[in-house]
Structure 1
């Protein structure tokens, strides 16, 4: 029986650990917090998982909360008219809703990670509550066939060198601020459709609104992404959750008043329902070398950390876990050597490269052909639907998004009359 150590109990680490466990591997999982500490702690992310990522969970029969979580059937885009907020609340220049082929869901990671961790232990997995340092891994690497590092923050990440060719940004591109709330009203345009709402405020930032399941039931996430140094970059140092929510709502009233109109009665889900921070999007070398000569393989956002502007973090983590799990099982009893580690990461990068390219493009000011595409989606429903489903399969953006000529050809094709 092959012995595998997974360090880090997030989406990817737990999905791999539970998947390997179901295949008969001897798995040890290291977490720096207990399930109860996770469940009662602060929110960790704004996860919205689309069909492919959810299917990886279903394949492992880990979709415990699927019937409880809101089914997100659409993805909407609104764009504020540039400069319209100078004299008062912003006006909307664009507003549309694309339909998803398969529904998405957002389950608070406090609910999911705590539940999955307890399941892993109940099924006989060895759970070690300990914040691992490089020295610990040096010791463990001699007693395990494979060590996977899935803890995306802290000292361990420093073992994986930044890949400059795949990391165009060296500084954070957005200041992030999250609030989980109860009491948000429906969008009057589509009152019966649960949808993720992407509100773009040119030159200022973005507000994302998404339904989710949290520790206290159905809720919504209000998520600001502010351009650093701009008017949304005001959450640094705000410790009081009530002040954090108040700032969130003030900014909504000015920059996205159509969202603020349904948020006048919201309250935080709990004292841990806010989060703020920033990080530079980074791709790293997937193999870490330990002082004693052992090798460890980086997982998910340890090695590919994108900005959350495209909502891909938990999706990428699920896809990484599925790719790594398949590579481990296919390896049989052969050694998990450096060549295998490189090939295993490359298998994941086949999908991750599209996420990184798209996310980095969305962080930059949009060129004219992208503005034309987003505008056309308001007139032509298939364009809105295709853009929405790109969140599930970002590889499709290669076909109609980046290249102005491909965008134009696509718009001519779908409009039929040739008027793009």
Structure 2
């Protein structure tokens, strides 16, 4: 029986630990918090997961909350106009539903399950010195803790990391009492509200510790009018700021938020970080090697909602690579090949798309977003790109590809020639 140490009890670490455990590996999991501390702590993310990422949880039969969590069937995009109205507003339909389960619920539940199934849990914030010691007694050490001292072992990959500073200031609030969007009251949907030059507001249904709720998530351009949450410790003040900004910049969302209240005392979160890709292999002082997992090695801005999705896909990819490796040593060549498989299938497409969305959108992207309001297939394809970001490569980045795609859709829809270019109202 091979012995594996997993450091970090988030989406990727726990999914990997439970997957390895189910295949008969002897797994030790290190977490800096107990299940109860996670459950009663502060919210950690927005974690909207799309169908293919959710499937990895179904495959491991750890999708414990699938029947309780709201089934998100659409993804809408609105672009604010200078007059406080909307230049663009549409809803794309997802092929398979998405779901968001508060990580306090999921990680606490998974941690309990890991222990119930006989896994060894060590509650300890691991240091490099700890790993140096442990590496001698385990066949493989996986680092899935994306913050703190351990990350320093993984050097920044400058060629894959165009940004060296945060591109957005982040502010999250979980609320009860949000009303439905009047345009599609029957559809649970993620709403992406783009305010040009200012930032973005995402609104999404979730399952939290107190049942169904909604997440209000601002991403503000640093130094801009949304960058006002730093130093705000009081949850009530955080919510008041969130709503004030909604009233100013996205009044159509504010209109359904006038009666909201925070779900609990730990329902707010604010911060910022620079998007980064790191080298996947960490070297310990004693010569041992450890492999970085998910956002330890590929940390994108949450503007495209890919964090938990990428973590789930990374855990599934690594699990497959470990199982296929049999009893051979987990050496440096295997570690590199394991990361490369994940990078080229998931990490690279997600990073390319996310970095593109952080910049000022070029005219052809504005045309695509605008055209989606007139051509439902474009809206649907854009929405489903959140599940499969590699699809954007076919039509999103190159102006000629975008023009060809819009012409093809307009033609097959019987739309008048000019329907695609008239969509640049998004500008």
Could you state the TM-score of these two structures normalised by the residue count of structure 1?
A: 0.98
2:264 matched residue in structure 1: 270
CA displacement at 1:102 relative to structure 2: 0.2
Instruction: State the 1:418 CA deviation.
Output: 3.7
Quick check: 1:360 aligned with 2:355?
Answer: yes
Distance in 2, Cα, partners of 1:352 & 1:54: 17
Deviations 1:18-74 (A, max 9, x none): 000000000000000000000000000011000000000000001000000000000
Match for residue 16 of structure 1?
16
- Does structure 1 residue 211 correspond to structure 2 residue 205? yes
In structure 2, distance between residues paired with 1:103 and 1:96: 18
Does residue 47 of structure 2 align to residue 47 of structure 1? yes
CA offset digits 1:327-369 (Å, max 9, x no partner):
0010000000000000000010012100000000000010000
Which of 241, 250, 267 aligns to 1:247? It is: 241
Deviations 1:297-327 (A, max 9, x none): 0000000000000000000000000000000
Residue number in structure 2 paired with 1:226: 220
3-state secondary structure, aligned to 1:209: strand
Output the CA distance in 2 between the equivalents of 1:412 and 1:332.
50
Where does residue 332 of structure 1 map in the other structure?
326
Matched, 1:127 2:121: yes
Gaps of 5+ in 2: 421-427
CA distance in 1, matches of 2:342, 2:76: 29
- Separation (CA, whole Å) in 2 of partners of 1:410 and 1:276: 39
**How do residues 157-306 of structure 1 correspond to structure 2 at under 5 angstroms?**
157-306=151-300
Q: Distance in 2 between matches of 1:234 and 1:125?
A: 43
> Distance in 2 between the 1:359 and 1:245 partners?
27
Measured on the aligned residues, the alpha-carbon RMSD in Å equals 0.5
Structure 1 regions of 5+ residues with no counterpart?
Answer: 85-89
Task: Write the distance in 1 (CA, Å) between the matches of 2:9 and 2:148.
Answer: 14
Following TM superposition, by how much is the alpha carbon of 1:413 offset from its aligned partner in structure 2, in angstroms?
A: 0.1
Partner of 2:400: 405
Within 5 Å, give how 1:307-318 maps onto structure 2: 307-318=301-312
User: Match for residue 87 of structure 1?
Assistant: none
- Name the residue aligned to 1:147: 141
Distance, in Å, in 2 between the alignment partners of 1:253 and 1:418 is: 38
C-alpha distance after superposition, 1:234-267 (max 9, x if no partner) = 0000000000000000000000000000000000
CA distance in 1, matches of 2:328, 2:47: 36
CA deviation vs aligned residue, 1:167-203 (integer Å, no higher than 9, x gap): 0000000000000000000000000000000000000
Deviation sequence 1:84-135 (CA, Å, 0-9, x none): 3xxxxx2111000000000000000000000000000000000000000000
User: Runs of at least 4 residues of structure 1 off by over 3 A?
Assistant: none
Instruction: Indicate the SS of the match to 1:105.
Output: strand
